[in-house]
Amino acid sequence: MIDILLKNGYRIFETISVFGSKGLSLLLNNQKPTPKLLRETFEELGTTYIKLGQFIASAPSLFPEEYVKEFQKCLDQTNPIPFSEIEKVLKQEFKKPLHKIFDSIEEKALASASIAQVHAAKLKDGTDVVLKVQKPGVRDIILTDMNFVYIASKVFELLIPEAKRLSLSEIIEDLQRSMLNECDFILEAKYTKQFRKFLKDFNIKDVVVPYIYDSLTTSRVITMERLYGIPLRDPQTIKKYTNNPSEVIAKALNVWFLSLLYCDFFHADVHAGNLMLLNDGKIAFIDFGIVGQIKKSTWEGLQKILIAMESEPINYPLMAEGLIQSGIAHQKVDKIKFAYDLKKAFDAIESLEDEIFTNPDLQEEEINKKLLTIVNVAKENGIRFPREFGLLLKQFLYFDRYIRTLAPEISIANNFKALR
């Protein structure tokens, strides 16, 4: 107990020291805090604050645009910790010598993020697997940090009563729950297996998820099948692997849409790294660490948005209608003005289209820009969106990008309507 209190106290002292040193530097140089400085501070503080930064980036209806844009650069990629520390976690979780379970484990990490890092391994029967291992102490750090942030938000609301309408403390509570869920690898394994069952129930054989080895999966370790292929990042590379990129995108899109209708959750992180084209031509969805749940009552509004975006030219009045239906309006919304504002904002984005198509690095930026545009225009017209809606809309924009790059003849709206 004393050990835990000392660790928590040290972490709070460390947090205050980092914020204090940054603040002192600003005072001495007579500078104002900037979004960039805050992002760099969050990255220096590690796991919890990186996740907080990603939350800011995904909640444009709550935070100023300049902070949302800056925190979209807050990457959840960290230097790997020494394998000796990972090995300790594996021994603690499996409670037996590792050589009795694995033929080999690669010491060099395949990937490393704030919560976990991934290592390739081989079972005793020669099967290739991947181990996703939670970094030591991560859950305790998140609890300590989020309790500190929660108390700070309560003090802020006490000092500035007007801030209560933002419901900051409630948002922090929800975020803490979400982060702790992400630390529960049993939960991630459960979502992966549910998605696998969904694929089996609908007899979908050309889309897969990694097989989970339940006997080698705990709250801090997931052992899963290793899949070989390429992520859907580079259009030119994909075209080397398949003669029909349109079919690849259509498969992924149809399955994801079908899961919206028939699963209790949706994969809420379908960026190019989490969708793979496998060597055997199948599509794989990986990493169910971030999922979303949204009320079925929003589907009609979403369908209107999709139909509007697929129209030539874009049907802005219909888009406005769908956004109004999917959001929360605290006042009567002028639909004509809202549609006009959307058109004006989208016209500005479309002027950059040629440059975006020839520069893959700008593609993620364009998706974020469109999301921000929609949310900001909605905010100006009195509409607020729940965070889950923002997550869902961003997945639509990911698929919109894949389609326009690889399969321009596909219609998102028609695919969605055909599945309903």
- The catalytic site residues sit at 269
> 262 with 202: CB under 8 angstroms?
yes
Give, as one character, the DSSP assignment of residue 351.
T
Residues 10, 403: Cα–Cα separation, whole Å = 49
Residues 126, 132: Cα–Cα separation, whole Å = 19
Amino acid sitting at position 347? D
Say which residue the tokens 């923002």 belong to: 390
> 292 with 398: CB under 8 angstroms?
no
Q: Of 232, 217, 219, 231, which Cα lies nearest the Cα of 130?
A: 217
Residues 24, 29: Cα–Cα separation, whole Å = 9
Give, as one character, the DSSP assignment of residue 105.
E
- Environment class of 266 (CB within 10 Å of its CB; exposed 0-12, middle 13-18, buried 19+): buried
Residues 68, 24: Cα–Cα separation, whole Å = 25
CA distances from 214 to 211, 223, 247 (A): 9, 8, 33
> 211 with 189: CB under 8 angstroms?
no
Q: Of 290, 53, 42, 14, which Cα lies nearest the Cα of 144?
A: 14
- Residue 323 makes CB contacts below 8 A (sequence gap 6+) with 301, 305, 338, 374, 378, 383
Q: Of 109, 108, 111, 103, which Cα lies nearest the Cα of 128?
A: 103
Residues 242, 250: Cα–Cα separation, whole Å = 13
Pairing verdict, β 111-112 and 116-123: antiparallel
CA distances from 313 to 33, 42, 302, 309, 353 (A): 42, 42, 18, 8, 15
Residues 237, 320: Cα–Cα separation, whole Å = 37
> Within 13 Å of residue 82, how many CA atoms lie on the same side as its CB?
3
